[in-house]
Structure 1
């Protein structure tokens, strides 16, 4: 894969020349994104989202997601993403007395309706971001604030999401892990999202599953991989989907558990 990124404080311009599935991650901050070219498919534990060139999306903080980035034929996948960090949101909340009316428990991503204000705002950033320049913290903080006000003007219902500063509460560990085991993130992310410290997460996990998180995750991912490959899905696609980073490590672990390499099961 060939790729390049110009990283600025709180704003990211990305360009990929080949299909990429390396975008799986925990979303720590709200993100406002513009799809300049190419397509992107994202999925959380419940839904799949698709965006194409010209689309705008809003990704919510404290969610797990997988991303597949697809450049157009002979072209590049390009996006601009603005990270709406909690510090700036708290400043705006205090300055304008923005408070939530109710908490919302919704999906990881919202595909935003087209809006000329969004487009002109994003296009004003492109020429600047495509040229290597020194970081300008003040400028980018102002652009982030401008983006937040644009979002509120076009989508007033986002207020209850943007200015909800509560952290995840303690939840059912077994249900959460069975739904999210295929996300390849550190244990501290799982702990945070279930409302626990890492030490409490490990202790509760042992009580619920009678295994350490590492052993349980490995076995759960391998069992899911076995099922998917036996249903005709190629190992080269399955290993990422169930939470492995490396194909060779996946193949080694698979053979150790089941006595056969993944490719032999797929060949059947």
Structure 2
């Protein structure tokens, strides 16, 4: 059946994956508060890997690159409730709740395990999903404001994330690309995250790396995969997603073209 997403409100959805797994490199426009109901989730952020299971609650910051891989487990689909904490809604909230914001560099996602108050807040949305009817904005606003209030009670420092409405500033291309080359993002998004227009991003990239972004990204991803297979003794099927490839056959073709042999032929 694949992926199903049912919205009871533009900012509230129930997401379900029935396939063997679902992988995506994601960049969220808004903060997302996620409650995992069933299944298992693997999140890769930089050189760190995190696993989450049924009952865990996670806050994804906006404008952060992560790889998300969702797996069904124990005969159940991967299912989660997702709440969008949009800029407009947070702006309204903090207009009534003034705070002094400190810069967080870089923002990271927050985990809340199975906190009973957050769980109760998000679980209260399930009957609305079961009714399969749209949720009035007045009720949605109450639910979202409740969640924000609970987050602030659990973690007083969360204001520095939620009340920071700055857009990405101009970053070092070398530092940013070396940390994020494995993410499958459009050139537009790479440009946005480094504080550049697409034209400026391509121009600056060529000046710094003496090649195109597409060629540089392919070379870096293949080098990472080669290292993981040869030095870490991992299988091609275990590394191609983390290296930024969408499917195993395309990875194998690109690898052979670059190195002259298949990834399965590597001898450590």
Using structure 1 for the length normalisation, give the TM-score. 0.90
Partner of 2:202 in structure 1? Answer: 202
1:247 positional shift: 2.4
1:69 positional shift: 1.9
1:131 positional shift: 4.1
1:106 positional shift: 4.3
CA contact (8 A) 1:19 1:68 kept: no
Cα 1:234–1:131, aligned 2, differ >3 Å: closer, same or farther?
farther
CA contact (8 A) 1:170 1:196 kept: yes
Give, in whole Å, the separation in 1 of the partners of 2:17 and 2:102.
39
Give, in whole Å, the separation in 2 of the partners of 1:248 and 1:46.
25
Cα 1:113–1:253, aligned 2, differ >3 Å: closer, same or farther?
closer
Give, in whole Å, the separation in 1 of the partners of 2:131 and 2:42.
28
1:229 positional shift: 2.2
Partner of 2:81 in structure 1? Answer: 80
CA contact (8 A) 1:40 1:67 kept: yes
What secondary structure, in the 3-state scheme, does the structure 2 residue paired with 1:220 have?
Answer: helix
CA contact (8 A) 1:49 1:109 kept: no
Flag structure 2 segments of 5+ consecutive residues without an equivalent.
none
Partner of 1:252 in structure 2? Answer: 253
Cα RMSD (Å) of the superposition? 2.1
Give, in whole Å, the separation in 2 of the partners of 1:107 and 1:188.
21
CA contact (8 A) 1:3 1:15 kept: yes
Give, in whole Å, the separation in 2 of the partners of 1:60 and 1:138.
25
What secondary structure, in the 3-state scheme, does the structure 1 residue paired with 2:35 have?
Answer: strand
Q: Number of matched residues?
A: 266
Partner of 1:215 in structure 2? Answer: 215
Flag structure 1 segments of 5+ consecutive residues without an equivalent.
none
Give, in whole Å, the separation in 1 of the partners of 2:113 and 2:23.
27
Give, in whole Å, the separation in 2 of the partners of 1:20 and 1:138.
36
Partner of 1:109 in structure 2? Answer: 109
Give, in whole Å, the separation in 1 of the partners of 2:213 and 2:136.
42
Partner of 2:49 in structure 1? Answer: 48
Residues 72-101 of structure 1: CA deviation (Å, up to 9, x unaligned): 21222221111111011111122x142333
Describe how 1:23-102 pairs up with structure 2 within 5 A.
23-94=24-95, 96-102=96-102
Give, in whole Å, the separation in 1 of the partners of 2:130 and 2:11.
16
Give, in whole Å, the separation in 2 of the partners of 1:43 and 1:63.
11
Deviates more, 1:27-36 or 1:39-48: 39-48
Give, in whole Å, the separation in 2 of the partners of 1:89 and 1:57.
18
